[in-house]
Amino acid sequence: MAYYSWILTFHVMAFMSWMAMLFYLPRLFVYHVEHSHKSEFVEVVKIQEYKVYKYIGLPAFWATLLSGAAMLIVNPILFETGEWLYAKLVVVAIMTAYSFSLEYFRVQLENDECKRSGKFFRAYNEVPTLLSILIVAYVVVKTFSLLFTAIIIGFFAFVIYMIFQQPEHKE
């Protein structure tokens, strides 16, 4: 237990770095798609997308995952603290799938094969915000509330709906 606080500190810092990638990379995808007619611009964005994912996102993901596992190993009593931990782990699994989906889209964009719109990526960019709110709430409050979860998901469904109602970006 002497190292638990240090592991937790590292975990929070790694999570923040992972979230930075999850917030920023879809925004780069928006710029990429909406300015696809500017080849020099797109080439710079492709480099940024690669570096954000490979040099920030992927290492931060693994650091978050490994430090989270270390916290559970060092302090297994966490498994007995209620359903909030299990809810958090489910959301982390969804966030992990989302994170890997960004690499899928990055490769498609790099190869000029992506057919998604800027509007799609604007909406997709809302997903990590939703997931991070759920994770932070579960951890801080140390409980799982179905009502809170439903309200947050409903709110973000409305936000995404509104994004799709906006006219397509024209330059």
In a domain, 152, yes or no: yes
d(CA 4, CA 8): 6
Known binder of ligand: residue 88? Answer: yes
Known binder of ligand: residue 54? Answer: no
pLDDT of residue 163: 95
pLDDT of residue 171: 59
Contact predicate 119/29, CB 8 Å: no
Nearest CA-CA partner of 96 in 62, 146, 51: 62
In a domain, 133, yes or no: yes
Structure tokens at 106: 């990055």
Please report which helix (H) or strand (E) contains residue 156, including its range: helix 146-165
pLDDT of residue 167: 87
In a domain, 171, yes or no: no
pLDDT per residue over 58-84, tens digit each?
Answer: 999 999 999 999 999 999 999 999 899
pLDDT of residue 150: 98
In a domain, 69, yes or no: yes
Nearest CA-CA partner of 9 in 63, 77, 56: 63
In a domain, 137, yes or no: yes
Question: What is the mean pLDDT, run by run of 10 residues, along the chain of 171 residues?
Answer: 91 98 98 95 98 98 98 94 95 98 98 96 97 97 96 97 86 59
In a domain, 170, yes or no: no
* Domain, as residue range, for 35: 4-165
In a domain, 15, yes or no: yes
Please give the tally of structural domains in the chain.
1
Q: Give the pTM.
A: 0.92
In a domain, 54, yes or no: yes
